[in-house]
Structure 1
Amino acid sequence: MKDMAQPAENIYNLITKEEVKIKKAHRYTSTFRDSVKLEEQKNKVAHKTMGPAKVEVPSPKEYLQKHTREAILTQKSALLDSTGRPPRCLAEDKKRPPVPTRIEQPILGVQTNKSFIKTNVAEAVMAVPKKPQPIYVDTKKGDKHLLETSGLVPKYIKRKDFGSTPEYLVKRNEEVRQAQEEYDAYVKERIKMGAMKQLYEEERQNVLEGLKKNWDELHHKYQGLSVVIDTPAKKAYKQRLEVEMRQLERDIDVIERHKIIYIANN
């Protein structure tokens, strides 16, 4: 069913209804309200921005004349600079004596017969000409540099200690010499005791030739290996030859580098 509109006149409208009053929430007030008011009233000054309420009108008899408001400076204050002090040339303690007049005589009668023209001519004739500073040019455009600071001038050969061995090298050579002497003494003592013997030159050459001959034989066998090594036996044989040849090369190098060789008897 469709809702039917309620007519304007209704019996229920005759009953008086109580008016419902809506209570509004209390308005927020700051706790600093009173102190702000006092501070605002305290800082107010009369005629601060708008000027005085009443201004005294000048009298027509006292009209403004020309140049009356300009500052009148005295003669002394007009010569002061920005710092409030007189210029250096006008200061009382910095003043120079006045220029003497034409008729004044020199003080205490001091006179000179010196001819400044002749003196200048003599100094110019006797003066030694100034030597040009040595330079060197290192580019095709003509860039110039001082020769003294370039390191090309052999100025260190003129020192008294030029060519002498430095002290630290002399000390080091002395320590090496002492160590060699101690080692030689130890070797001689061991030889006397029969603990070791020195290998003679002929024996050393024979040992060296025998090592080289052994190396040649191993090298000949190494060159005779097959190109394709596909079995474990061939690989092991090749590795054994390489190890023996490497050891022989070390022994040959040791014997060739050391001319004196000692052999222990034990």
Structure 2
Amino acid sequence: MGESSTELPDPELYLRKYTGGGAGSGRRRAPGAPGTGRSRSARTYREMRGSTTETTCKPPVPKNTDHVPKPFKSCKNIIHWNAFNQMRSSPTKPQEIKIVDQPSGNVQLAEKAGLVPKYVNKKDYGRTPEYLNRFKGDAEAEARRWEAEMAENQRRKESMKLSEEERQQILQGLRCNWSLVNQTYQGLSLLTDTLNKKHRKTRVENQLKQLEKFIQILEKHQIIFIADNPYALL
């Protein structure tokens, strides 16, 4: 244990807590030797922390006669209050979806990229647009108007058509007129030496030609339409 001249420590002077000379000092010192006094770090736990009775003792238990304040008890219905707050609060907006569209890590919103189906969520999705319904209604009204005009034209044509009974009556009347005019023509003088005679003969001949033309038309055509319709005003 070292050199022969080294003095061995006394077994009674073993090292006690908080009595060391400092960090790393393993040498024990005899009482009264220099450096054996308590250092600043060798104070007892009670000196540093104080009495344990002052810090660990709890207050006494109150008696039943003492007034003990009770915590305030609210009469508010928490369930109804929470439901009322939820009805008044505005709905939270959903978190926007982001996508990475490039290998370099470019991030953009999926809505701006056109990847969010916005049109299919509209109220009028799958319904005929209003302007198409309006165009369809206009086309149907125009078709009905055109059909009405065609029916009116057909009715007018039917009313302008000369019936067989009327054709026979007109033909009979033309023949009677032709007979009267021909009788007048037969009674004219053969000598047309004056201007009046010439004019009268020419006028009667023209009447005969006109009546013969009308008679030929009525005899040749079975269906005749009147140009100036007398039934147009009905």
Task: Calculate the TM-score normalised by the size of structure 2.
Answer: 0.31
Larger Rg: 2
Task: Calculate the TM-score normalised by the size of structure 1.
Answer: 0.28
